[in-house]
Chain A
Amino acid sequence: MNSADFIALLPLIVPALASVVLLLLITFSRSHAVSVLFTLGSLLLSFLLLFVAGGGTPRRVTPLFIMDAYSLFFIGLLFIAGIVVAVMSSRYLGERSMERGEYYVLLLLATLGASVLAAGSHFASFFAGLEILSVSLYTLIAYRRNDDRGNEAGLKYLILAAASSSFLLFGMALVYAQTGSMDFFQLAEGGRVPDLTVVLSAGLLLITVGVGFKLAVVPFHLWTPDVYEGAPAPVAAFIATSSKGAIFALLMRYFSLMDLQRFPAVWYGIAGIAVASMLIGNLLALRQNNLKRILAYSSIAHMGYLLVAVLAGGTVAKTAVGYYLAAYFATMLGAFGVIAFLSGEEGDAENLEAYRGMAWSRPWTAGVFVAMLLSLAGIPLTAGFIGKFYVVAAGAGAALWIPLIVLVAGSTIGLYYYLRIVAVLYGRVPEGEGGAVTGFPGRVLGMTGGILLTVLTFALLWLGVYPAPLIRILQATVARLVP
């Protein structure tokens, strides 16, 4: 490892170092503000270092990492998500009398794990990144120590993630046994995977099980609503975005490097998962009254949409995935952000009925929420629409008619529950005995919340109305991932 390698790897080194320093820091000073500022500062620094690291790309740093435009884009996305989650958490934890410093150590580590995944080019870094991410999440999910559901969620995630990791490891072992290499690029070179033996395809599909668990796609999705419900809202936002986005980045790199779309077993496996996720995710959300659970189901469906683009393959599909993920990040962070900022100490603001008529007493908060929901539903002029449009365009280009039909059907079902929330937001509050209309009982957004959510909303509309700059960025980064 020489200095050029070191520079290329700086965006990963900084958060790693920061988590250790922060751990030391909190042993001496338990100031919440210091922890938050330190976390934000180090994430911001890492983000800026991406531009420094970008000078020497593409660069293999040991067989474990590949720092190219593709990984830099996704790492950047993950850092931004980390910053947003940190801001959300600062308010969320701000008024709770619990140990708060460790939370940020774990958040930094989780972001690091996700970034390792985005830059991973080897089964070893794949697994290491995954475990850094997962182990941090076990604790983060159960961070509300006195909450039964939080503990339950943390334990469930621990057990199931461990089980799925074992599938993943076994799959890796089988692939290694068949190909003799754990290096993605070596696998890609010289037609190392000319044909699919039963053992190799079994290995690939077992890896799919492990990945599918993290992505929460059907039938590995069952944990999702329980964990989202039990986890603190900012952590749920992190699971919904960074954890999935990182895995997705890695999955797509692996897929296109090995050109796996050409194998029918893998193709049909992924297609089946995509179709089932789109349908079942949306159907499960139909009559749900808990907002966090609705968003959990919604995220299942969204991963299904994304898999359609993976199936399509090609440059358009990569742009589509990049765009969709960016839009999905902004939207999910915004939606969970609303919940996080409205949550008080007594519990998260997740009951849908509590939001009835909020638009009349808090027009701006409700407006932001509506914008997020419309983007999730893929209504034009929001980022979600352009993302979905790209996915459909990629799918149509590859003539994936059945997944596309299911995508449209799923989106239609999705409209129902997204608009149901909108209807509740704008609904009339049933008048009480005194005839007084009560406002939303939760907390106010506050300064940070107002600014953060406004920025996210504008980002959303900006991406929806003027997508050209991001598309240019994607074409310069993500789309250039060619094996």
Chain B
Amino acid sequence: MNPMTPGSYMPTEYFPVLITMVIASAVGFGALFVGNLFRLKRAYREKLMAYESGNPPLEEPRYRFNVKFYIIAMLFVVFDVEAVFLYPWAIVYDKIGLYALIEMLLFIVVLVVGYVYAWKKEAFVWD
């Protein structure tokens, strides 16, 4: 079938992916389900407590964090996600060549500028 006929396009080449997803979910959920069927269920107070490496928990798990955590987290996400782009780039590098190198350099320069900005803004200084 011509995939370009309007209204009839089916991404058939991704069909194996769908099957993989179904099987993976089936195995995962199935294992849990089967384990639940056979395991012993004996609950007592210590076992139901939140796990803090053996110490009894000191306070409620939800409390206000210092805003600096958010900044650090944000910076981490930003630079981490940008790094992800390096993987596809590495794969197609052979095909595109020098051009890809320049583009990635530009990309990294922009990242560095952002880094310099964050640095100068003292985003990395804790106190």
Chain A residues packing against B (C-beta within 8 Å): 1, 20, 23-24, 26-28, 177-181, 192-195, 197, 199-200
Q: Which of B35-60 contact A (CB under 8 A)?
A: none
B108 to chain A, nearest CB (A): 12
* Residues of chain B with a CB closer than 8 A to A180's CB: 3-4, 6, 9
* Contacts beyond the supplied A23-B114, A26-B117: 6 A-B pairs with Cβ under 8 Å: A27-B121, A177-B9, A178-B9, A179-B6, A194-B6, A195-B6
> Chain A contacts of B121 at CB under 8 A?
27
Contact of B7 among A27, A28, A200 (CB under 8 A): A200
Distance (Å) between the CB of A146 and the closest chain B CB? 16
Task: List 22 A–B pairs whose Cβ atoms lie within 8 Å, in order of A's numbering.
Answer: A1-B99, A20-B109, A20-B113, A23-B113, A24-B116, A24-B117, A26-B117, A28-B120, A177-B9, A178-B6, A178-B7, A179-B6, A180-B3, A180-B4, A180-B9, A181-B4, A192-B4, A197-B6, A197-B7, A199-B7, A200-B6, A200-B7
Q: Name the residue on A nearest B10 (C-beta).
A: A177
4 closest A-B pairs by CB: A27-B120, A180-B9, A197-B7, A24-B113
The reply to whether A27 and B116 contact each other, CB–CB distance below 8 Å, is yes
Name the CB-closest residue of B to A24: B113
Question: What residues on B are CB-neighbors of A178 within 8 Å?
Answer: 6-7, 9
Check if B71 is an interface residue, CB within 8 A of chain A. no
* Complex interface: chain B residues within 8 A of A199 (CB): 7
Provide the residues of chain B in CB contact with A24, threshold 8 Å: 113, 116-117
B110 part of interface (Cβ distance < 8 Å): yes
User: Bound complex: CA of A197 vs CA of B9, how far in Å?
Assistant: 13
Task: List, in ascending order, chain B residues with CB within 8 A of A27's CB.
Answer: 116-117, 119-121
Contact with A along B1-34 (1 / 0, CB 8 A): 0011011010000000000000000000000000
Note all chain B residues with C-beta closer than 8 A to A193: 6
Q: Tell me the nearest residue of chain B to A193, going by C-beta.
A: B6
CB distance from A470 to the nearest CB of B (A): 38
Shortest Cβ distance from A186 into B: residue: B4
Chain B hits for A181, CB < 8 A: 4
**B interface, by DSSP: helix, strand, loop or mixed?**
helix
Contact of B110 among A20, A179, A200 (CB under 8 A): A20
B87-119 contact mask (Cβ, 8 Å, vs A): 1 or 0? 000000000000100000000011001101101
Q: Which residues of B contact A177 (CB under 8 A)?
A: 9
Chain A proximity of B16: nearest CB distance (Å)? 19
The smallest beta-carbon distance between A4 and chain B, in angstroms, is 16
B7 neighbours in A (Cβ, 8 Å): 178, 197, 199-200
Tell me the smallest distance from the CB of A193 to a CB of chain B, in Å.
7
Q: How far is the CB of A282 from chain B (nearest CB, A)?
A: 40
Select one of A23, A192, A195, A200 contacting B117, CB under 8 A. A23
CA distance A197 to B8 in the complex (A): 10
Q: A389 to B116: give the CA distance in the assembly, Å.
A: 53
Task: Provide the residues of chain A in CB contact with B113, threshold 8 Å.
Answer: 20, 23-24
Q: How far is the CA of A180 from the CA of B3 in the complex (A)?
A: 7
- Roughly how many angstroms separate A180 CA and B10 CA in the complex, as a whole number? 9
Q: How far is the CA of A10 from the CA of B4 in the complex (A)?
A: 34
Of all chain A residues, which has the CB nearest B5?
A: A180
Closest A residue to B3 by beta carbon equals A180
What residues of chain B lie closer than 8 Å to A20, measured between beta carbons? Answer: 109-110, 113
Task: Please give, as numbers and ranges, the residues of chain B lying within 8 Å of A192 by CB-CB distance.
Answer: 4, 6
Counting chain A CB atoms within 10 Å of each CB, which of B4, B7, B114, B120 scores highest?
Answer: B7
Residues in B with CB closer than 8 Å to A194 are: 6
Most B Cβ at <10 Å: residue of A180, A199, A200:
A180
Residues of A near B6 (CB, < 8 A) are 178-180, 192-195, 197, 200
Task: Give Cα A180 to B9, complex, Å.
Answer: 7
B83 nearest CB across to chain A (Å):
19
B4: chain A residues at CB < 8 Å are 180-181, 192
Closest to B109 in A: A20
Note all chain A residues with C-beta closer than 8 A to B116. Answer: 24, 27
Shortest Cβ distance from A238 into chain B, in angstroms? 23
Beta-carbon contacts under 8 Å, B70-86 to A: none
Which single residue of chain B is at the shortest CB-CB distance from A176? B9
Query: Chain B nearest CB: distance from A26 CB in Å?
Result: 8
Q: How far is the CB of A181 from chain B (nearest CB, A)?
A: 8
